[in-house]
A and B are shown apart, each in its own frame.
Chain A
């Protein structure tokens, strides 16, 4: 039996959506300042317009739906799903006005790609984009990576009881500290320490690579946000190959890996508990899958003869593998070269790394290490059960903060989500195939969008048919929210129509 949501339900959802929209408006202030300093007047007005629009709608919603009610589980999920849709729509306004997007849909795609930390881009003539608009693209990474709603709401002074379900709704189900606001504060702390250290490191590396000081800071800041939030946007059309610098690539590898670690792990490291790193199931799983995919990638590249010397093979191969496995999506070669110069195995290995993804409760996307690890553990339990005497009790344990026994319920949900991801990859690929894209390339692009990876083999470009762009947009959204919030939204829609009062 479905219960139709009533006015109170819609009210509380509308109220929190309003808060998020106001937050979007405030965030636009940052690039606006940059535009003012650089003297890009048209960009400044575009940001002002976007901010005004967001704050107006947001404030109106807050007033219209004013409530002191608490969010329950389903409200949290629905609000999360809608926030990402609406947030992208609002960020798309200044992007569209910048004139670098063929249509509002393209700008919306870009905003969604930014917020979901994907990094696929539809920007046209990005090499002539102004500094402030480019900064906004990277800020969306930062915001989305840390969890847009949680940033907005805790930033705007909501209490913990009100927003805790939202935290889960955004696909971050690991509460480190008992209180969500304190958890969020810890996340800010980690992120800002990395922000300062990472940006300085990248700026220094940029200076060594031959940039002027100011340009070095701009590149450093943007690169940091794209790397740490495992986003993958870049300020220029050639991504990381623009820099020709091993030092920058080295720093980025550290940042990408840091971004793919869960905040739980950051917390444990912060507290000086190194053992967690060695024993954590998810860390171990990712170490294994990372090793396998990287070896396969290197093997494939060596077999295809893409690189003539071992140094290049490792530099390009390892960077690409890490970029894919952390679902960042930085590339160190032109994306067409995946198709024209990388043979067949290496792109397949990249595809696997993309699909696997980083750790849960990090900014990385993909199926996630915990799900892969749980699935593997559960299979091993089945195998062991099959060969033991019938009466034997087979218990398999894993460590995540504590040592736990594997039970059916978490395994069920882990594998279910895993299957949903695979379905998402395949259905997106079918849409691509329908529009005449070869299957491998369609699958690569579809997977890249679904796991918020952002690597591209060149299928996605401004001229791509509209339905494909929309499919990729939906995939990024579904993948980032890990299905549940979107399902809740769908269910809510159905309940509104068919539910009983």
Chain B
């Protein structure tokens, strides 16, 4: 077999291919950014005490059991808190009674005379609604695991294009909740301390027409090339 050098034509083809790929990517960007809007309104709760926790890392000193119990007995409710604050210094919030507002996410895990919830208090939950509705990027999600004792209010969790029920809970934070295998949890003090601030809402997003058209075009292209390939194969 003789070795053939790479021709200028092949290099040209590669260049054309690269240009086409870039063009496709640009098209996709445009498509994505031109998605129809459906922004949900601000939930309208009082803002947490501080949005930016000043404690970045927190060193824990181990208290003895007696002191801890005294500290628990004396706690004053600390008011409205955010999940980021708690995660930045879990120890400072251990056993504190707090008020927490957020959106119920995913599923309601009904069991053992109550339910486990994931309750998010990020911007998607409280301010702008699900990301798909507006494309206003606010980072990842942030929330706390919440335990509600029965009877439960009527909850519709947020998924896909739905903003779930936004609830307000008064409860105690357990940094390491033994009953949950050591997880960080917020246990509602009782069923009456849970209130619904806003019912679940659907985004009602219109279909992204331009994307649908582009998709059909690409599908047709693929089908055409495949058919053509089949035909030239059978002819051979």
The answer to the question of A174 belonging to the interface, with a C-beta cut-off of 8 Å to chain B, is no
Q: Closest CB-CB distance, A223 to chain B, in whole Å?
A: 13
Contact indicator B3/A6 (Cβ below 8 Å) = yes
- CB neighbours of B90 from chain A (8 A): 337, 340-341
- Binary CB contact string for chain B from 137 to 161 against chain A (1 if under 8 A, 0 otherwise): 1111111010000000000001111
The answer to the question of A200 belonging to the interface, with a C-beta cut-off of 8 Å to chain B, is no
Contact indicator A334/B178 (Cβ below 8 Å) = no
The answer to the question of B72 belonging to the interface, with a C-beta cut-off of 8 Å to chain A, is no
The answer to the question of B183 belonging to the interface, with a C-beta cut-off of 8 Å to chain A, is yes
- CB neighbours of A99 from chain B (8 A): 32, 35, 131-132, 135
- Secondary structure at the A interface, as helix, strand, loop or mixed, is helix
Contact indicator A123/B7 (Cβ below 8 Å) = no
Bound Cα distance A249, B139 (Å): 28
Bound Cα distance A315, B183 (Å): 10
Contact indicator B229/A340 (Cβ below 8 Å) = no
Bound Cα distance A236, B225 (Å): 39
Q: Which of A4, A129, A496 contacts B160 (CB 8 A)?
A: A129
* Closest residue of B by beta carbon distance from A63: B229
The answer to the question of A68 belonging to the interface, with a C-beta cut-off of 8 Å to chain B, is no
* Closest residue of A by beta carbon distance from B5: A501
Q: Which of A63, A210, A308 contacts B111 (CB 8 A)?
A: A210
The answer to the question of A102 belonging to the interface, with a C-beta cut-off of 8 Å to chain B, is yes
- Secondary structure at the B interface, as helix, strand, loop or mixed, is mixed
Segment at the interface with A among B44-52, B112-120, B192-200: B112-120
The answer to the question of A73 belonging to the interface, with a C-beta cut-off of 8 Å to chain B, is no
Contact indicator A104/B91 (Cβ below 8 Å) = no
Contact indicator A125/B130 (Cβ below 8 Å) = yes
Within 8 A of A (CB), among B123-137: 124, 130-132, 135, 137
* Closest residue of A by beta carbon distance from B123: A125
Contact indicator B226/A59 (Cβ below 8 Å) = yes
Q: Closest CB-CB distance, B115 to chain A, in whole Å?
A: 7
The answer to the question of A333 belonging to the interface, with a C-beta cut-off of 8 Å to chain B, is yes
- Binary CB contact string for chain A from 457 to 489 against chain B (1 if under 8 A, 0 otherwise): 000011100000000000000000000000000
The answer to the question of B75 belonging to the interface, with a C-beta cut-off of 8 Å to chain A, is no
Within 8 A of B (CB), among A200-254: 208-212, 215, 219, 235-238, 241-246, 249
Bound Cα distance A382, B219 (Å): 62
Contact indicator B181/A312 (Cβ below 8 Å) = yes
Q: Closest CB-CB distance, B212 to chain A, in whole Å?
A: 4
Contact indicator A125/B159 (Cβ below 8 Å) = no
Bound Cα distance A242, B5 (Å): 58
- Interface centre among A5, A40, A49, A211, by most chain B C-beta atoms within 10 angstroms, is A49
- Binary CB contact string for chain B from 208 to 232 against chain A (1 if under 8 A, 0 otherwise): 1001101111111110011001001
- CB neighbours of B225 from chain A (8 A): 55-56, 59-60, 63
Q: A42-B211, A96-B28, A210-B110 are in contact. Are A244 and B145 (CB under 8 A)?
A: yes
Within 8 A of A (CB), among B9-48: 10, 13, 24-25, 28-29, 31-32, 35
* Closest residue of B by beta carbon distance from A54: B222
Contact indicator A125/B180 (Cβ below 8 Å) = no
The answer to the question of B235 belonging to the interface, with a C-beta cut-off of 8 Å to chain A, is no
Q: Which of B91, B182, B208 contacts A316 (CB 8 A)?
A: B182
- CB neighbours of A53 from chain B (8 A): 24, 218, 222
Q: Which of B3, B107, B120, B141 contacts A8 (CB 8 A)?
A: B3
- CB neighbours of B10 from chain A (8 A): 7, 10
- Binary CB contact string for chain A from 47 to 67 against chain B (1 if under 8 A, 0 otherwise): 011011111100110111000
Interface residues on A, range: 35 or more
Q: A215-B107, A462-B139 are in contact. Are A97 and B178 (CB under 8 A)?
A: no
Contact indicator A461/B111 (Cβ below 8 Å) = no
Bound Cα distance A362, B6 (Å): 38
- CB neighbours of B31 from chain A (8 A): 49, 97
- CB neighbours of B163 from chain A (8 A): 128
Within 8 A of B (CB), among A310-353: 311-313, 315-316, 332-334, 336-337, 339-341, 343
Bound Cα distance A341, B140 (Å): 21
Bound Cα distance A63, B13 (Å): 14
Contact indicator A48/B181 (Cβ below 8 Å) = no
Q: Closest CB-CB distance, A302 to chain B, in whole Å?
A: 11
* Closest residue of B by beta carbon distance from A99: B132
Q: Closest CB-CB distance, B10 to chain A, in whole Å?
A: 7
- Interface centre among B28, B145, B163, B221, by most chain A C-beta atoms within 10 angstroms, is B28
Bound Cα distance A337, B182 (Å): 12
Contact indicator B222/A56 (Cβ below 8 Å) = yes
* Closest residue of B by beta carbon distance from A6: B3
Bound Cα distance A212, B155 (Å): 14
Contact indicator B184/A333 (Cβ below 8 Å) = yes
- CB neighbours of B178 from chain A (8 A): 307-309, 311-312
Contact indicator B141/A237 (Cβ below 8 Å) = yes
The answer to the question of B169 belonging to the interface, with a C-beta cut-off of 8 Å to chain A, is no
* Closest residue of A by beta carbon distance from B88: A340
Contact indicator A312/B182 (Cβ below 8 Å) = yes
* Closest residue of B by beta carbon distance from A38: B160
Q: Which of A42, A62, A209, A219 contacts B35 (CB 8 A)?
A: A42
- CB neighbours of A104 from chain B (8 A): 25, 28-29
The answer to the question of A299 belonging to the interface, with a C-beta cut-off of 8 Å to chain B, is no
Bound Cα distance A38, B159 (Å): 12
The answer to the question of A41 belonging to the interface, with a C-beta cut-off of 8 Å to chain B, is yes
Contact indicator B106/A236 (Cβ below 8 Å) = yes
Q: Closest CB-CB distance, A57 to chain B, in whole Å?
A: 8
Contact indicator A10/B141 (Cβ below 8 Å) = no
- CB neighbours of A313 from chain B (8 A): 182
Q: Closest CB-CB distance, A48 to chain B, in whole Å?
A: 4
The answer to the question of A196 belonging to the interface, with a C-beta cut-off of 8 Å to chain B, is no
Question: Which 3 interchain pairs have the tightest Cβ spacing?
Answer: A312-B182, A52-B218, A210-B109
Chain A residues in contact with chain B, CB under 8 A?
4-8, 10, 25, 38, 40-42, 45-46, 48-49, 51-56, 59-60, 62-64, 93, 96-100, 102, 104, 123-131, 208-212, 215, 219, 235-238, 241-246, 249, 304-309, 311-313, 315-316, 332-334, 336-337, 339-341, 343, 461-463, 496, 501
List 18 A-B pairs, Cβ < 8 Å: A45-B215, A53-B222, A96-B32, A99-B32, A99-B35, A99-B131, A124-B138, A127-B141, A237-B141, A237-B143, A246-B181, A307-B178, A312-B177, A315-B182, A336-B88, A337-B87, A461-B140, A501-B3
Besides A219-B107, A312-B181, 14 other CB < 8 A contacts?
A: A48-B219, A49-B215, A49-B219, A60-B225, A210-B111, A210-B116, A236-B106, A236-B141, A237-B105, A237-B141, A242-B106, A244-B181, A305-B62, A312-B178
